[in-house]
Structure 1
């Protein structure tokens, strides 16, 4: 019989797995709603990856319930669960590492994103942060709003500090905070997956051990001592 402590730990980690899956699923849906800076920072492909990861974790949670609910001597479900957890770990590692690596080159990466935005979106970002252009005030500037005209934009340019009054600082300040929280959270899922994997191994070991003792006792003609 599996000890109560192991089963309690299994249940505790399993609930965290459920929470991780729901968090990924919900945030991937909620963040698709129009939001100036979140839409700028996170691409649709990123949100799709988060949605897929959330679904994977929730499916794993359902498998874990089915696996542990099987009869005491059956471990096939738990073995299948462990293979599912390995797949989850790979997905977590790939998605988390992609976001982390992307965050290492934010200034250049988001310059490309900024240039690709419409005039109205760039103007909204400039108005939000009271800045003009990306690397320099007179670079990729959307005229209008805070950056009312070219004369005003040119007056902001400082040859000794070209990024003064430019948007690169406030933009990457927001994106850095957002991306760091995202990939840190995703990497945190790895601890949950590993913990459940180890808990599953413990359950498998104790079930196999219990079954082995039952077979030994049966050969001796006893009524069972485990």
Structure 2
């Protein structure tokens, strides 16, 4: 029967593995989604996720899976601390990797409007039109900068001038979406720290057990 410390470690390890599954599933879904034709409801999200570092996200998930596999020998050898320490360093690497990805998305929120202007200029006319339909706006800054795409929302310059540019609502949407992404990344780092704490407790317990066993052996009681 595993001790409370070991049980805590196993639970933390399961949560750690769960974060890897979450990152992998989200990345695969995003990679499939960016290949779909945009619609009014999905166009803003597609523009944003198309600039996500998908390969880095997948690499992060793979690192988490490899690190979890490394915990198996640590559990199968209840007296060894070498595998636990090695496992701890791998967890630290995963946490740093995830933190960098989260900080990257957080930095994007500091320059949202400038980034969105670049993204806007990269889109074909039909995608810009979908953005105008989604946010009921015309052009990026206003209907003249860049010039708006004529569609059902912006059929004329007079109506386009009254509706205003897309920068405001688009930026608000992007900031909310990116906030969710980097908050999730920081949450994963928090779970990594929980696993490290549980690892430290298991290492300390094994160290104490070894010390007591050596004391018993010196007293001629043998290992207990």
Normalising TM by the smaller chain, what interval?
Answer: 0.7 to 0.9
Does residue 83 (structure 1) correspond to residue 89 (structure 2)? The answer is yes
- Residue among 50, 63, 69 paired with 2:57: 50
Q: Name the residue aligned to 2:153.
A: 146
Q: CA deviation at 1:45?
A: 4.5
1:137–1:154 CA contact under 8 A, matched in 2: no
Q: Name the residue aligned to 1:128.
A: 134
Q: Name the residue aligned to 1:11.
A: 10
Does residue 203 (structure 1) correspond to residue 202 (structure 2)? The answer is yes
Does residue 157 (structure 1) correspond to residue 156 (structure 2)? The answer is no
Q: CA deviation at 1:118?
A: 1.2
Q: CA deviation at 1:58?
A: 2.0
Quote the Cα distance in structure 2 between the aligned partners of 1:157 and 1:173: 20
Superposition TM-score, scaled by structure 2 size: 0.88
Q: Give the paired residue count.
A: 215
Q: CA deviation at 1:155?
A: 4.0
Q: CA deviation at 1:53?
A: 1.6
Q: Name the residue aligned to 1:161.
A: none
Q: Deviations over 1:191-219 (max 9, x none)?
A: 11111111111111111221222122112
1:138–1:154 CA contact under 8 A, matched in 2: no
Quote the Cα distance in structure 1 between the aligned partners of 2:171 and 2:60: 26
Segments of 4+ moved more than 6 angstroms: none
Q: Name the residue aligned to 1:182.
A: 181
Quote the Cα distance in structure 2 between the aligned partners of 1:65 and 1:153: 66
Quote the Cα distance in structure 2 between the aligned partners of 1:54 and 1:6: 26
Q: Name the residue aligned to 1:109.
A: 115
1:132–1:153 CA contact under 8 A, matched in 2: no
Quote the Cα distance in structure 2 between the aligned partners of 1:65 and 1:84: 13
2:74–2:83 CA contact under 8 A, matched in 1: yes
Consecutive unaligned residues in structure 1, runs of 5 or more: 159-163
Quote the Cα distance in structure 2 between the aligned partners of 1:66 and 1:122: 54
Quote the Cα distance in structure 2 between the aligned partners of 1:213 and 1:14: 27
Consecutive unaligned residues in structure 2, runs of 5 or more: 37-41
Q: CA deviation at 1:142?
A: 2.2
Q: CA deviation at 1:128?
A: 2.1
Q: Deviations over 1:55-103 (max 9, x none)?
A: 222222222233222x222111111111101111211221111110111
RMSD of aligned Cα (Å): 1.9
Superposition TM-score, scaled by structure 1 size: 0.87
